[in-house]
Amino acid sequence: MNDYPDRPEQLIGVAQAGQLIRPDAPDGLRHRIALRWAIVDDLDRRLPYRDTLQCPLCGHQGGAARPAAGHGSGQAQQLSASLSSFSTRVSYCIFGGGDLIRYACPSCDLIFGPEKMLALSEHALAEEYEWHYRAYREGDSTEQELRAFYALKPRRDGIYLNWGAGDWSRTLDVLRSEGWNAVGFEPHPSGAPARPGVMTDWRQISAMRFDGIFSNNVLEHLRYPLRELRVMAGLLTPGGRMSHATPCFAYRYEFTRFHIFFYLGRSQSLLAQKSGLSIVSHEADGDFINIVMGSGSA
Whether the per-residue pLDDT at 74 is higher than 70: the answer is no
Instruction: Please indicate, yes or no, if residue 3 is contained in any of the structural domains.
Output: no
Look at 297 and 22; give whichever has higher pLDDT.
22
| pLDDT value, residue 63 | 82
Instruction: Please indicate, yes or no, if residue 36 is contained in any of the structural domains.
Output: yes
Instruction: Please indicate, yes or no, if residue 2 is contained in any of the structural domains.
Output: no
The overall average pLDDT reported for the chain is: 84
Q: Which of 218, 204, 127 is nearest to 171 (CA)?
A: 218
Whether the per-residue pLDDT at 10 is higher than 60: the answer is no
Same domain, 149 and 281: yes
Q: Which of 212, 243, 220, 223 is nearest to 145 (CA)?
A: 243
Task: Using CA atoms of 69, 72, 73, 78 in order, give the dihedral in degrees to the nearest 10.
Answer: 40
Instruction: Please indicate, yes or no, if residue 169 is contained in any of the structural domains.
Output: yes
Instruction: Please indicate, yes or no, if residue 231 is contained in any of the structural domains.
Output: yes
| pLDDT value, residue 23 | 60
Instruction: Please indicate, yes or no, if residue 254 is contained in any of the structural domains.
Output: yes
Look at 152 and 76; give whichever has higher pLDDT.
152
Number of domains forming the structure of the chain:
2
Q: In what order do the strands lie in the sheet with 278-285?
A: 198-199, 181-185, 159-163, 210-216, 236-245, 288-294, 278-285
Same domain, 146 and 285: yes
| pLDDT value, residue 153 | 97
Q: What distance in Å separates the CA atoms of residue 295 and residue 212, rounded to the nearest whole number? A: 12
Q: What percent of the chain has pLDDT over 70?
A: 80
Same domain, 188 and 288: yes
Same domain, 167 and 272: yes
Q: What percent of the chain has pLDDT over 90?
A: 60
Residue that terminates a domain, selected from 102, 136, 170: 136
| pLDDT value, residue 12 | 41
Whether the per-residue pLDDT at 4 is higher than 50: the answer is no
Q: Per-residue confidence at 193, pLDDT binned at 50, 70, 90?
A: low
Mean pLDDT on 43-71:
79
- At 91, which amino acid appears? S
User: Which stretch, 42-46, 111-115, 199-203, has highest mean pLDDT?
Assistant: 111-115
Same domain, 90 and 232: no
Same domain, 94 and 124: yes
Instruction: Please indicate, yes or no, if residue 260 is contained in any of the structural domains.
Output: yes
Residue that terminates a domain, selected from 136, 167, 185: 136
Q: Per-residue confidence at 139, pLDDT binned at 50, 70, 90?
A: confident
Same domain, 131 and 164: no
Same domain, 107 and 196: no
Residue 46, Cα to own-chain centre: how many angstroms? 29
Same domain, 159 and 97: no
CA distances (Å), origin 276, targets 60, 61, 214, 225, 231: 20, 23, 17, 13, 11
Burial 214-242 (b: 16+ CB within 10 A, else e): bbbbbbbbbbebeebbeebbebbeeebbb
- Those residues whose C-beta lies under 8 Å from the C-beta of residue 152, and which sit 6 or more positions away, are 160, 212, 214, 241, 243, 292
| pLDDT value, residue 44 | 85
| pLDDT value, residue 77 | 38
Same domain, 131 and 145: no
Whether the per-residue pLDDT at 261 is higher than 80: the answer is yes
Residue that terminates a domain, selected from 101, 121, 136: 136
| pLDDT value, residue 189 | 65
Same domain, 102 and 214: no
Domain that holds residue 290: 141-294
Instruction: Please indicate, yes or no, if residue 241 is contained in any of the structural domains.
Output: yes
Same domain, 16 and 125: yes
Mean pLDDT on 205-223:
95
Cβ contact 252:208 at 8 Å: no
For position 168, which CATH number holds?
3.40.50.150
